[in-house]
Homo-oligomer: A and B are copies of this chain.
Amino acid sequence: MSLIVQKFGGSSVADAESIKRVARRVISYRQAGHDVAVVVSAMGDTTDDLIELAKRVAIDPPGREMDMLLTAGERMSMALLAMAINDRGYEARSFTGSQAGLITTEDHGRATIVDVTPGRIRAALDEGVIAVVAGFQGVSQHSKDITTLGRGGSDTTAVALAAALGADVCEIYTDVDGVFTADPRIVPTARRLPRISPDEMLEMASSGAKILHLRSVEYARRYKVPLHVRSSFSLNRGTVIAGSVAHPFPVTPTELWSPDEADSDCGGQADNPTTKTDAEERDMADMAKSATTGTGKNLEAPLIAGVAHDRSQAKVTVFGVPDVPGTAAAVFEQVSAAGANIDMIVQNVSVAGSGKTDISFTLPRAEVKSTVLALEAGRSRLGYADLATDTHIGKLSVVGAGMKSHPGVSARLFKALSEAGINIDMISTSEIRISVVTRAELLDDAVRAVHSAFGLDSSTGEAIVYGGTGR
């Protein structure tokens, strides 16, 4: 028997039928003997509708009241899910973020978790009750006001609750089948990764893969919570995000694969079928191997886990910066004071004798305007010659723990891009990631070329939909 935390996003609880489907899935885990705590987002468009209502009564609603309003969303979805579970003969009880012990900072709309005290959830689980918890929300530590966690909030609630309860796994249900080697909309031969390390997932998330918010992955890595990202619309196994040695996959596949009733509506099922599809059998083989080798990679052992891409960035170049100590620091102080989130930075070698250099950096496109204004305001002090912006760039990243011990990765990457006729504009690396900036219009070609060059293409393309997650 394991303790499992499951998180269902807004699209998984969009209407009454979806809620009933989620109820069946949750119950199938209880039937298999597990303790289950479920974290839910607001139904479908509820949050957007509430924001629209707020706009109609106030130009600039106070954060405290906005949070009070928006938290009505999860209140509805969690109560309805608890009802649907009870309706099928299993006891479920819903809890607000406050009742679940999600203690946060006072920052309305973007609170961070300072403590989790899930006494009521633990008590419910000990009684054999399925706990249904509101995602995205908490209560502030000092003023005891209702707060929301901002982007990625519901995933973070689930991970934080799993950490505090010592759950064996935190399942994140979404509308795609897991983490893929590349975006299947661009690379039809992309494959689902049966497993990826937390470090790799962090690099994937920060490199543009939208399936999990960076924040929840960071939380999971920090508190060693094994994640399982999978689709709420299928019985397929998804992607396990866990350290392969220190945190072996905690629930046996047979248990986790306990299927629910899919789309039939004929009441609870008595048995726990163990029939597996071919794909599932393959996954099991992969899992068995990675448990042995401790690398989490499959038979072909590619150097990299996946290829991520990001179209949301822009490049700013500052020309003719005095090449003396402290100048670069002054530029970035100015930029960060404007609130910009700098990603890649490249400083050219100074032209001999000129005493001047150029500095380029990338940042989210939405932050270009304020950043340029800030730089222009500091122009006389910074002493640069000119500014240029480029909003037609694309970033490609290869991510993989394997590259630590394989020096040939960057060479293979550059060769693949070169053979595809794609120029590289900027380069940055971490221990397990190499990112390059290209022209935006060449990004798709670049992703396909690199995916293929690293042997990631599957022989048969799976029919899958790849999209972002909700809040």
Contact = CB atoms under 8 A, between A and B. Distances in A.
Interface of A: 16, 19-20, 23, 50, 53-54, 56-62, 64-66, 68-69, 71-73, 75-76, 78-84, 86-87, 92-94, 99, 144
A83 B54 contact: yes
Nearest to A62: B86
B72 A58 contact: no
A46 to B, nearest CB: 10
B76 A50 contact: yes
Given A60-B87, A69-B83, A72-B75, 6 more contacts: A16-B57, A54-B83, A57-B84, A65-B86, A65-B94, A69-B76
Contacts of A76: 50, 53, 69, 72
Chain A contact surface mostly: helix
Contact of A79 (B68, B80, B86, B99): B68
A61 to B, nearest CB: 4
A69 B80 contact: yes
Contact of A83 (B58, B86, B94): B58
A50 B64 CA distance: 24
A87 B59 contact: yes
Contacts of A69: 75-76, 79-80, 83
Contacts of A99: 144
A50 B46 CA distance: 13
18 contacts: A16-B56, A19-B57, A20-B57, A54-B80, A57-B83, A57-B84, A58-B86, A58-B87, A61-B87, A65-B82, A65-B83, A68-B94, A69-B75, A69-B80, A69-B83, A72-B76, A75-B75, A99-B144
A194 to B, nearest CB: 34
Given A68-B75, A75-B71, A62 B83 contact: yes
Nearest to A15: B56
A81 B71 CA distance: 16
A419 B78 CA distance: 62
A305 B300 CA distance: 91
Contacts of A58: 83-84, 86-87
Given A59-B87, A61-B87, A16 B78 contact: no
Contacts of A79: 54, 65-66, 68-69, 72
8 closest pairs, A vs B, by CB? A69-B79, A58-B87, A16-B56, A58-B83, A68-B79, A61-B83, A72-B72, A57-B84
Contacts of A62: 82-83, 86
Contact of A16 (B53, B59, B60, B72): B53
A185 to B, nearest CB: 33
Nearest to A120: B144
Nearest to A93: B64
A68 B53 contact: no
Contacts of A68: 75, 78-79, 82, 94
A126 to B, nearest CB: 15
Contacts of A56: 16
A174 B78 CA distance: 32
A65 B75 CA distance: 10
Contacts of A87: 57-61
A144 B57 CA distance: 33
Most B C-beta atoms less than 10 A away, residue of A20, A56, A65, A144 = A65
A374 to B, nearest CB: 30
Q: Which of A54, A62, A93 has its CB near the most chain B CB atoms (within 10 A)?
A: A62
Contacts of A81: 57
Contacts of A86: 58, 61-62, 65
Contacts of A83: 54, 57-58, 61-62, 65-66, 69
A356 B64 CA distance: 70
